[in-house]
């Protein structure tokens, strides 16, 4: 499978390289750029997540997961090929209100940042562009 990788809009992002962060005021510009580049946008509001299981439950509300899928990070390796078939790649996940989570529960916020960034990197090896943007 040949995949065209979208270039990142460096001028809209907080710092070059991953993890990708964007200021709230620049979010509409980022969304327009991603849409223009045929990325499917999905958003999750991180403000109310109190645990990793809460956050994964939020993801399960916006992305297709099999009914048997659990609520740990293993969910992503467990669903494997089903993710390829069901998710609309190329895909951009926008984690809104990440700064609120970071203020309230830095350990949770950093764990989620690490897990999602790892997932995004893993998707590259599978030829599925899955980018994560954390809104500050």
Mean pLDDT, the chain cut into blocks of 10 residues (136 residues total)? 68 81 95 93 94 93 84 79 76 95 95 91 73 94
* Strand residue runs (E) in the chain: 20-22, 40-45, 91-96, 130-135
Q: Is the pTM for the entire model greater than 0.85?
A: yes
Residue 127 structural domain: 26-64+82-135
Residue 117 lies in a domain: yes
- Residue 59: which CATH number? 3.30.370
Residue 17 lies in a domain: no
Burial class (CB in 10 A: 0-12, 13-18, 19+), 95: buried
Residue 77 lies in a domain: no
**What are 55's two structure tokens?**
């956050």
What pLDDT score was predicted for residue 126? 59
**What are 3's two structure tokens?**
């995949």
Residue 128 lies in a domain: yes
For the chain, the domain total comes to 1
Residue 130 lies in a domain: yes
Residue 108 lies in a domain: yes
For helices 52-62 and 106-125, angle between their N-to-C axes, nearest 10 degrees: 50
Give the residue carrying structure tokens 């190329």: 90
Residue 7 lies in a domain: no
Residue 32's DSSP bridge partners are: none
Residue 43's DSSP bridge partners are: 94
State whether residue 73 is helix, strand or coil. coil
Residue 70 lies in a domain: no
């Amino acid at each position: 499978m040949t995949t065209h990788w979208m270039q990142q809009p460096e001028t809209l992002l907080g710092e070059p390289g991953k993890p990708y962060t964007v200021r709230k005021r620049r979010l509409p510009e980022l969304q327009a750029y991603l849409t223009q580049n045929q990325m499917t946008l999905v958003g999750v509001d991180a403000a109310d997540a109190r645990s990793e299981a809460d956050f994964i439950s939020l993801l399960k509300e916006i992305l297709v997961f099999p009914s048997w899928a659990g609520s740990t990070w293993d969910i992503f390796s467990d669903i494997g090929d089903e993710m390829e078939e069901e998710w609309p790649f190329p895909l951009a996940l926008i984690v809104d209100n990440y700064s609120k989570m970071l203020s309230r529960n830095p350990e949770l916020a950093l764990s989620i940042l690490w897990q999602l960034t790892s997932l995004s990197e893993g998707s590259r090896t599978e030829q599925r562009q899955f980018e994560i943007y954390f809104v500050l």
